[in-house]
Structure 1
Amino acid sequence: MEKDGGVVVATERYGSAEVWKYLAKDGAVERRRDDTEGDTRRGNSIVGVFKSVFLPQGFPESVSGDYLQYQFWDTLQAFSSSLSGTLATQASLRGVGVGNQEATVAAATVTWLLRDGTGMLGRILFAWHKGSKLDSEAKKWRLFADVLNDFAMFMEILAPYFPACFTVIVCAAGIFKSIVGVAGGATRAALTVHQARRDNMADISAKDGSQETLVNLAGLLVSLAIIPLVTNNPIPTLSLFFLFTILHLFANYKAVRSVVMETFNEARLSIVLQQYLKDKRVLTPQEANQREPVFFEFTKMMPVKLGVRLQEIVQSPEELQLALKKNNMPFLMGVRNGRVCVCLGPEASVHDEIRAMCQAAWISSTLSSHTQQGKQGHWETVHESHTLMDTIFSPFLKGVEAAGWDTKRTLLDWDEWRVEWKSKSN
């Protein structure tokens, strides 16, 4: 019952942003906004318009919990990258002869075409060689792309001071930027899949584009003030570039650190498994993501290769029998050429894939720490892994599901080989 005598007959809401109610009064129904503070209506309206333009529909319910924090740092890195890009573009234009009466249009055009051509070739080769890795290691490649982008812009700034090597330098920078384009775009798509909670990837991507456009517009206005101050002044140019680069890298690091993925890749699954083996505690997605490395590192751990051909595990009937020993799962495991290899059967489920990766991670950790030698020692470790997983995997899987992990899909880097093999009885 309202103070003026109206009776509330219905209420409605627009996500978590607005609440309205319908009042029955004097034979009519009146729609009224449910404001706790009437004076904030105009402010709420302005905020509502801003949210509808730059944030996905249904925010915050329609996106992951880490969306806002990630977008804040992503916006900051985009702004600093825009300013660094302005300095690099100015240097490139000066290098091809803009402002130099002795420079020819043909020479500048050839240099530009060579840079673009080598960049296109680099884009194709990188996508072919590393495309399948970008989903499983999205954080690492996202950060790698931004570091490489800063290095490429640094090369472009230095290029005019080495006129004899200018074309070679800008072509190399073009290759690096093409890699940045592939890695950055692909990992952005992977993060969008993570952020979309209502199958709203297109909306999130569109609003991300709007945010980036707004940031670039702000960067353009700041660049208009900066360019007259740094033109033909190398020291201010380099000083500002390093300042923007530090800000860019810091914001990128904070951005990827803020992402909390609930699906397993090799690193996150290994972290959760090692903690479980240590004290039977299952890490939450938040805890495991904080421990996940975001830089590429030279580790002493034995690498794991998933979805290999059968011949990469066994090369004789005796080795096939060793691979089948104590194994009732739709995958085979073995160690060859310093790698833990997993051969997957066509009927394997997602849970089988998770178990296979758990076994491979345990074998890798065990062999790396004990440096066992000889094929027989390797097979004994494989057999021990089957026995261990028969005991712990079921409670482990229940634990990770209870902790909030998504076990319906994974980001494990499986190759496409699938093998059917004869059992020992046959």
Structure 2
Amino acid sequence: MEGNRQVVLATETYGSGESWEYVAQDGAMERRRDGRDGASGGGNYVIGVFKSVFLPQGYPESVSADYMQYQFWDTVQAFASSLSGTLATQASLRGVGVGNQEATVAAATITWLLRDGTGMLGRILFAWRKGTKLDSEAKMWRLFADVLNDFAMFMEIVAPHFPASFTLIVCTAGIFKSIVGVAGGATRAALTVHQARRDNMADISAKDGSQETLVNLAGLLISLVLIPLVTDNPALTLSLFFLFTALHLFANYKAVRSVVMETFNEARLSIVLQQYLRDGRVLSPADANRQEPVFLDFRRTASIKYGVRLRDVAQSQEELQLALKNNSKPYLLGLKNGCVSVCLAPQVSVCDQLRAASQAISLRSLLQLSPAEESDAPKKLLTLKSPCPWEMVCNSHSLMDRMFEAFLKGVESAGWQTHRTLLDWDEWRVQWKSKTN
């Protein structure tokens, strides 16, 4: 009958997870899910509540594609770290005299204050020296922080076995943990910026805190079972610590490896540029991130200094003219003692910064080539070679004139963000004259 015919009046969705429709039937309007009766099952309701409590609003569209994989491994590492922290805390308390009738409250308090005080100083010094690196190399410093945290907890566990050096050991561990706090917190913020896709950094950060709190609660419950087992059993304590540490480091490695950042830092730009110079192919963000190193490299190599003072590039009028040769861009490059320095003008754009960094990376790559490696080096790179450093700089300007525009279009097509960078630029800006008398 005509009166029983159903007419869809409207449809609505909640992200990509739920779809509803409003149906007119017998003069009334009913709300149904996916064309069926609107009552959802208990399982769907529980899942919905769990998602709303622990995942950002609008998930998965509101976050980066690597969000869930990263959060899974981050949860695993947080759980392992929570259990390791319990073992370290128990050892520290025993070391300061908890349970020892001969220990005094004053001695324990002084040890604790010294540990906290040295940690505060370490936090300030590390933020001063390495604060700018935590944005540009977030994955590397994130992993470094977790390795250092495990080492600090190991020191706390073994400290009670060296009573004469206990205070020194726990103070050193306190410094390491303060560095972990700065590096871990700052890099977490940098990764949150990457994950946010709807200006929802606060929501992602809050839900990340909820996830970590839930994990720590689970770790606390398991710790209640562990503590009676490991008390007065150093061998079992160390065995469990190494087990949790191995899990913690593995999960951290997988977590940082799962992050796919679409913004260039020096390492990612170098990887993409080297491939382009080799065969003209532009790597996607996923391919370049897989090749990006995540461990700190302490080897001495040719370095690049971004945003330096003019005297770091040219120390005389003649050198300034050489730096300006064949150069029409708002930046200057110089080679001094195996180091590539880049000086910026006040009007430099992000595109100019990318070009300057690409040029500097090309020069550094040439400086690092050994005679045996030259046969496998890209031919475009070898065109820069010259016994005169300033001639190499001039040749690099010509190389960028020929290839950078096509390179920039290629990286944009591949999905890279070019409206901002994570290159570690200093704040010096220099206004120079094109010609000097």
TM-score (norm 2): 0.94
Task: Give the distance between the partners of 1:269 and 1:4, measured in 2 at CA.
Answer: 64
What SS does the aligned partner of 2:190 have? helix
- Asked if the contact 1:300–1:368 (Cα under 8 Å) also holds between the matched residues in 2, the reply is no
Measured after TM superposition, the shift of residue 34 of structure 1 is 1.8
Shift of 1:39: 9.2
Aligned to 1:90: 90
Shift of 1:375: 10
Equivalent position of 2:197 in the other structure: 197
Instruction: State the Cα distance separating 1:298 from its structure 2 match.
Output: 3.6
Give aligned pairs, total: 424
Letter in 1 for 2:415: G
Which shifted more, 405-414 or 290-299? 290-299
Tell me by how many angstroms 1:344 deviates: 0.5
Which residue number corresponds to residue 154 of structure 1?
154
Q: Which residue of 2 aligns with 1:235?
A: 235
- Unaligned runs of at least 5 residues, structure 2: 372-381
Distance between the aligned counterparts of 2:314 and 2:427, measured in 1? 18
> What SS class does the counterpart of residue 89 from structure 1 fall into?
helix
Query: Which of 337-346 and 264-273 deviates more?
Result: 337-346
CA deviation digits over 1:197-241, x for unaligned, max 9?
A: 000000000000000000000000111111111101010000000
What is the SS of the residue equivalent to 1:412? coil
User: Could you tell me which residue of structure 1 aligns to residue 375 of structure 2?
Assistant: none
Task: Name the counterpart of 2:53.
Answer: 53
3-state SS in 2 of match to 1:302 = coil
In the alignment, structure 1 residue 424 sits paired with structure 2 residue 435: yes
* 1:177 Cα deviation after fit: 0.1
Residues 3, 26 of structure 2: 8 Å contact kept:
no
Give the Cα separation in 1 of the matches to 2:187 and 2:388. 40
How far apart are the structure 1 equivalents of 2:202 and 2:319? 49
Out of 394, 397, 409, which is 1:383 matched to?
A: 394
SS in 2 for 1:295: coil
Question: 235-244 or 290-299: which moved more?
Answer: 290-299
- Shift of the 32–57 alpha-carbon distance from structure 1 to 2, 3 Å rule, reads same
Q: Which residue of 1 aligns with 2:405?
A: 394
1:258-294: CA deviation from partner (whole Å, max 9, x where unpaired): 0000000000000000000000000000000000000
Query: How far, CA to CA, are the matches of 1:32 and 1:49 in structure 2?
Result: 20
- In the alignment, the residues of structure 1 paired with residue 181 and residue 131 of structure 2 have an alpha-carbon distance, to the nearest angstrom, of 12
Q: Distance in 2 between matches of 1:316 and 1:376?
A: 20
Deviation at 1:33, TM superposition (A): 1.9
Comparing 181-190 with 26-35, which one deviates more in the overlay? 26-35
Length-normalised TM-score, structure 1:
0.97
Distance, in Å, in 1 between the alignment partners of 2:424 and 2:387 is 28
| Partner residue, 2:378 | none
Go from structure 1 to structure 2 and tell me whether the alpha carbon gap of 1:4 and 1:75 turns closer, same or farther (over 3 Å shift).
farther
What residue in structure 2 maps to residue 223 of structure 1? 223
Q: Distance in 2 between matches of 1:321 and 1:209?
A: 55
Match of 1:411 among 412, 417, 422: 422
Q: Gaps (5+ residues) in structure 1?
A: none
- 2:376 maps to which residue? none
The 3-state SS of whatever aligns with 2:143 is helix
The alignment partner of 2:12 has SS state of strand
Q: Which residue of 2 aligns with 1:171?
A: 171
Q: Aligned-pair distance for 1:3? A: 12
Aligned to 2:62: 62
3-state SS in 1 of match to 2:369: helix
Aligned-partner Cα distance in 2 for 1:154–1:337? 41
The Cα of 1:44 is off from its aligned counterpart by: 1.1
Q: Distance in 1 between matches of 2:251 and 2:111?
A: 33
Say if 1:115 and 1:174, in contact at 8 Å, map to a contact too: yes
- The one-character-per-residue Cα deviations of 1:274-322 (angstroms, maximum 9, x if unpaired) are 0000000000000000000000114464111100000001000100000
Q: Assess, with a 3 A threshold, how the Cα gap between structure 1 residues 3 and 355 changes in structure 2: closer, same or farther.
A: farther
SS at match of 1:414: coil
| Separation in 2, partners of 1:123, 1:145 | 13
Q: Which moved more, 1:300-309 or 1:44-53?
A: 300-309
In structure 2, the residue corresponding to 1:319 is in which secondary structure?
Answer: helix
SS of alignment partner, residue 69 of structure 1:
helix
Q: Quote how far apart the aligned CAs of 1:337 are.
A: 2.8
Cα distance in 2, alignment partners of residues 256 and 61 from structure 1 = 21
For the residue of structure 2 that corresponds to 1:404, the secondary structure is coil
Which residue matches 2:31? 31
Identity score, percent: 74
Which deviates further from its counterpart, 168-177 or 378-387? 378-387
Q: State how 1:165-314 maps to structure 2 within 5 Å.
A: 165-299=165-299, 301-314=301-314
**Shift of residue 28 of structure 1?**
2.1
What's the C-alpha RMSD, in Å, of the aligned pairs? 1.9
Deviation at 1:91, TM superposition (A): 0.1
What is the match of residue 41 of structure 2?
41
Q: Distance in 2 between matches of 1:35 and 1:181?
A: 51
Q: How far apart, in 2, do the equivalents of 1:160 and 1:290 lie?
A: 42
Give the secondary-structure state (helix, strand or coil) at the position aligned to 2:425.
coil
Distance apart, 1:36 and its partner CA: 6.7
Cα deviation digits, residues 115-157 of structure 1 (max 9, x gap): 0000001000100110001000000000000000000000000
**Alpha carbons 1:84, 1:241 under 8 Å: kept:** yes
Q: Does 1:81 pair with 2:92?
A: no
Look up the match of 2:377: none
Cα 1:81–1:419 change in 2 (3 A) is same
Q: Is the 8 A contact 2:83 2:223 kept in 1?
A: yes
* Residues in 2 aligned to 1:335 and 1:153: alpha-carbon distance in whole angstroms: 44
1-side partners of 2:242 and 2:104: how far apart? Answer: 32
95 and 375 in structure 1: CA distance in 2 versus 1, 3 angstrom threshold? farther
> Does structure 1 retain, via aligned residues, the 8 Å contact 2:303–2:338?
yes
- For 2:3 and 2:305, the matched residues in 1 are separated by 70
Which amino acid in structure 1 is aligned with residue 434 of structure 2? S
* C-alpha contact 2:4 2:26 (8 A) present in aligned 1: no
> Helix, strand or coil: the match of 2:294?
coil
**In 1: Cα distance, 2:203 partner to 2:292 partner:** 29
